[in-house]
Amino acid sequence: MPTLSEVARHAGVTAATVSNVLRGRGRVGEETRLRVLDAVKALGYRPHLAARALAEGRAPTIALMVSSIANPFYPEFALAVERAARESGHFVIVCNTNEDPATGRAYLEQIAGTLSEGVLVTNANLDFADLHKTEARGAPVVLCMWERPQEPPGLHCVAVDFRLAGELAGTHLVELGHRRIGAIVGSKVSGIHAARYQGFLDAMTQAGLDAPESHLRRAPDTVQGGYAATRALLEAEPGITAIFASNDLPALGALHAAADLGRQVPRDLSVVGITDIQPAREARPALTTVAVPTAEAAELAVGLLRELLAASPDYVGAAESAPRVCTTSAPKLIVRSSTGPARAQ
């Protein structure tokens, strides 16, 4: 659905003018009024559908819990959730837990079932016990971006095959002739990037290649984390010709480290990430990555939550019923400019 801003841009007026025309308020010249109405028609804008629902006090609000609003993935995901939610007249409030389970618990207790009808949870580092309690109070919970479709979490969830994402990234590097491949993994051994790293190891095994511990660095899931880990890795193992990073942020850090070490990408070093966040597309060289279907996951999550809400007040939490698992379509390799053939040693 087009936004009011898009209507305004199309008509060459301000958003306030569009709003005035649609509400019959303010002083707007006839020619401008007609131009705005033409733009409304041309774009198929439906004024205030969701806004009206909210103002009428139907409290059609969804809470989206994110672990770190500073990680650009989450704002992108929040935007996709909003787009999907708007279709059913739902508004989204974003709660940032800063990876603190106690903060997350407090948000859940304050918001779920009162201000918000239901809760979408990304990897917000929450206790599952708290999520079950939220469900028991009658507010459905959907986990988004669950990383292991084969091991459902006991809660309703949208799952993405992140093991496959890791395998696609690893296979891409192998097919380019790389043999000594470094891995930057943005979580602990049992953490949320474990499935991605397993996929990478699967690709290496399939190719009969070694993935020694000395080629692995665990690092914070940030640009800075990837930067430091890549510098350390390349200094310790200068024969490495490619880097697999379990997320785009550390992959972008790897690009910066290569630049600062005087290694040209992709001639001297190939780098591949996972997710396809916007900065990956905007980097120079643009980052090769395995895109996960973010918008699709958001749509599935909102759709699932909507079904659960429609079933209430007969709603029973996932603990009492069989939790639903929706799996997105498969991640896809996007080849850009950060990967190339391995140089002959």
Interface residues with a second copy (CB under 8 A) are 3-5, 14-16, 19, 47-48, 50-52, 54-55, 57, 59, 61, 69-70, 72, 74-76, 78-79, 82, 91-96, 98-103, 105-107, 109-111, 114-115, 125, 127, 188, 223, 252, 255-256, 259, 278-279, 282, 284
Q: Which is nearer to a second copy, 128 or 315 (CB)?
A: 128
Residue 239 CB, nearest approach to a second copy (Å): 25
CA-closest candidate to residue 94, choices 69, 113, 114: 69
Rounded-to-integer distance, Cα 83 and Cα 276, Å: 19
Q: Which is nearer to a second copy, 61 or 327 (CB)?
A: 61
Q: Which is nearer to a second copy, 10 or 172 (CB)?
A: 10
User: Tokens 């109070």 — which residue?
Assistant: 137
Sheet containing 181-185: give its strands across.
Answer: 216-218, 181-185, 242-245, 270-275, 288-291, 332-334
Q: Which is nearer to a second copy, 199 or 250 (CB)?
A: 250
Q: What is the DSSP letter of 275?
A: E
Residue 102 CB, nearest approach to a second copy (Å): 4
Residue 200 CB, nearest approach to a second copy (Å): 23
Residue 53 CB, nearest approach to a second copy (Å): 8
CA-closest candidate to residue 133, choices 331, 317, 326: 317
Q: What is the DSSP letter of 343?
A: P
On whether the CB atoms of residues 53 and 68 are closer than 8 A, the answer is no
Backbone angles phi, psi at 266, to 5 degrees: -95, 5
Residue 101 CB, nearest approach to a second copy (Å): 5
Q: Which is nearer to a second copy, 255 or 326 (CB)?
A: 255
Q: Tell me the sheet residues that pair with 316.
A: none
